Structure 1
Amino acid sequence: MNTTTTELALAYNPVFLGLRFLLELFALYGFGVWGWRKAPGALKYLAVVAIPVVVAVVWGDFATAGDEARSGETTFDTPGPIRLLLEFAVFGGAAAGLWHAGMRKVAQWFLIVLVVYHVAAYDRIWWLLQH
């Protein structure tokens, strides 16, 4: 995206980028809660750390080059539509983990906020679909 387009794009607004960062942190939290509540015995101590770390590594390594909602850099250049599916899988997986962990209201509100965010960030969705 050029600078003019980025300045007008809602998804790249600093407030929106901050909200996106908080949503990503909350998604990792959701995976941690799921790991803690569903892993048996002492394995929960490993799951609460390992599951969010693995998700974060995959989340960070598979990105679309030039995505200004991130650093623009990537370890594995991933086509935009595949990245979008990965994002939906991470966010949806976190919501499903919260639901499965018994935090149904939290999962519902998380999904509502995610839908509103992604509708408002249509410009980034469109960019990903084109790259």
Structure 2
Amino acid sequence: MGSTWWNLTLRFLLELAALLGLGMADWSLSAGFWRWILAIALPLVAAVLWGTFAVLDDPSRSGRAPVPVPGAVRLALELIILFGGATGFYLAGHASTGIVMALLVALSYAFSLDRLAWLLRQ
């Protein structure tokens, strides 16, 4: 079920929301010039990590991996970024958005048990 169109769409939207949540947290928790730097830098770093570290032949991606990593490492990276984005919304004063996002992340992974098993076998 992890590769159904609706779950892949949800996952993509959650990835984008995570980047937004990370940026919003940095914006609201910092001040002055650093506010601009951190609000841009952390989402950018998260996006680069997301796109760079992957499992070879991941069916939910192109199959390519610029930097191949074990499945457990990739799963940890995904969870840190996605739940980090949800936490970012929460810390930025948008608690309900953060909670809904965290629930949607959990729902997406609940319907991706086949992908989770595949990741943990790699």
- TM-score, length-scaled by structure 2: 0.94
Looking at structure 2, the residues matched to 39 and 69 of structure 1 have their Cα atoms a distance apart, in angstroms, of 35
Aligned-pair Cα RMSD in Å: 1.1
Q: Which amino acid aligns with 1:74?
A: A
Unmatched 5+ residue regions in structure 1? 1-9
Partner residue of 1:56 out of 31, 47, 53: 47
Larger Rg: 1
Partner residue of 1:47 out of 24, 38, 43: 38
Q: Does 1:76 align with 2:67?
A: yes
Unmatched 5+ residue regions in structure 2? none
- TM-score, length-scaled by structure 1: 0.88
Structure of greater relative contact order (alpha carbons < 8 Å, 6+ residues apart): 2
**Fraction of identical pairs, as percent:** 35
> How does 1:1-131 map onto structure 2 within 5 Å?
10-131=1-122
Contact map agreement 2:19 2:46 (CA 8 A) in 1: yes
Contact map agreement 2:56 2:63 (CA 8 A) in 1: yes
Q: How many residues align?
A: 122
Per-residue deviation, 1:56: 0.4
